Amino acid sequence: MFITESGDEIFVIDGHVHLWDASPENTKNRYGEEFIKCFYDYHHLGPDEYVWPFEKYRKYSDEDFEKDIFENGYVDLAIFNPQYLGDFYYQGFSNLERADSFKKKHPDRVIANGYWDPRNEESGLKLFEEHAAKYNLQGVKLYTAEWKGDSKGWKLTDPWSYKYLEKCLELGIKNIHVHKGPTIRPLNKDAFDVGDVDEVATMFPDLNFIVEHCGIPRLNDFCFIAAQEPNVYAGLAVVLALMHRRPAYFNEIISELLFWLGPDRILFASDYALWQPKWIVEQFMKLELPEEIAKEKGQLTPEVKRKIMGENAARLYGIDINERKKKLGLSTVAKKGESKKETALA
């Protein structure tokens, strides 16, 4: 929990986190090497004091996660959104078993989503049903640029994708997180194009499409799609990291999101372990948009920040924040003029 200088409690839901394994033992080929090295380049967008050695970055521990997310990062609840990347890594980049094991250690602090790939057709559909039952899935993360054999990507509008989306509806899995943002070497940028969100959002109004990374570098396309589709949301993973080295660019992005989507459809996410939430939360909570921008597009008021930091994600995942705070034993110890937190690890 983050406590403001005025003593207000901000319940923090980190909507996009990972426990990944890009260790040499799990890496199949040069493409897996290129992927994690590109990830590491993005890692340097954060403050220098938060940059890890490369070997630690390849595979970090559960204890690292607990310290950086729950103890130091102000995060009350974290949502795992996996990337499989089976052509690059033997056991997958993000392993559902590892995420589920971690969730069992922290059942009130973790939501572990699944994934699917329509190119797996009928066999994949059956496996997805098994995963949904085994892991009690509430959402999925879709990675349309993932390589599979000769295929270098797929679209949400592909015929088999429709079958999987229909299965999500049938299973009550309503939160569809889709990577639509910066590419990662060796993946193809165009395979992350945001255009296919438009059609499926229209055809599946009972599903929530959380567009991770807000479509950048196609921000305008995303904003105009989201403006007309009320079930499209902006996930701020990657975008928030731009605050540190590209503050003017970040101000432009967040102000466009506020103007076109409003404050109720924007979700906080650190994208850990790309970056640590501690510095992101602290910088975002201090941020005020320049007057000339705020006059046209709206200001990041305390109420708006509260929604972005946790209330919007809580609504999508059916989380009663007050009840969850009681379960976690969260208590305020901050006095006016201080900014600190006290949490009990579940």
Average pLDDT value for residue range 112-124: 98
Average the pLDDT over 45-62 and give the result.
98
Strand-pairing partners, residue 233, are: 210
Residue 315 burial class via C-beta count within 10 angstroms: exposed 0-12, middle 13-18, buried 19 and up: middle
Q: If phi over 0 gives left and psi between -120 and 50 gives alpha, with beta otherwise, what is residue 163? A: alpha
> Rounded distance, CA 297 to CA 257, Å?
9
Give the tokens for residue 29.
């080929």
Cβ-based neighbours of 233, under 8 Å, separated by 6 or more:
208, 209, 210, 211, 226, 261, 265, 266, 267, 312, 316
- Mean pLDDT confidence for 166-195: 96
Q: Residue 86: pLDDT above 70?
A: yes
- Domain chopping of the chain, boundaries: 2-115+219-328
Task: Encode pLDDT of 214-267 as tens digits.
Answer: 999 999 999 999 999 999 999 999 999 999 999 999 999 999 999 999 999 999
pLDDT value at 288 more than 80: yes
pLDDT band for position 67 (50/70/90)? Answer: very high
* Separation CA 142–CA 131 (nearest Å): 15
Q: For residue 331, what pLDDT is reported?
A: 61
Nearest CA among 273, 201, 261 for reference residue 231: 201
pLDDT at res. 330? 83
3-state secondary structure of 73: coil
β-partners of residue 9 are 3
Q: How is residue 240 annotated by DSSP?
A: T
What is the per-residue pLDDT for 64?
A: 98
Tell me if 268 sits within 8 A of 214, measured CB to CB. no
| Coil/strand/helix, residue 266 | strand
Closest CA to 70 of 17, 113, 114: 17
pLDDT mean over 68-93: 98
What would the two tokens of residue 38 be? 């590109």
Structure tokens at 13: 């839901």
Which burial class, exposed, middle or buried, applies to 129 when counting CB atoms under 10 A from its CB (0-12, 13-18, 19+)?
A: middle
**Whether 230 contacts 208, CB under 8 Å:** no
Contact 272, 65 (CB under 8 A): yes
The CATH fold of domain 2-115+219-328: TIM Barrel (3.20.20)
Q: Which residues are CB-neighbours of 49 under 8 A, at least 6 positions away? A: none
Q: Are strands 175-179 and 208-212 parallel, antiparallel or unpaired?
A: parallel
Tell me, what's the pLDDT at 346?
Answer: 35
Residues 308-346 pLDDT 10s: 999 999 999 999 999 999 999 986 544 333 444 433 333
Put residue 298 in one of left, alpha, beta given phi > 0 → left and psi -120 to 50 → alpha. Answer: left
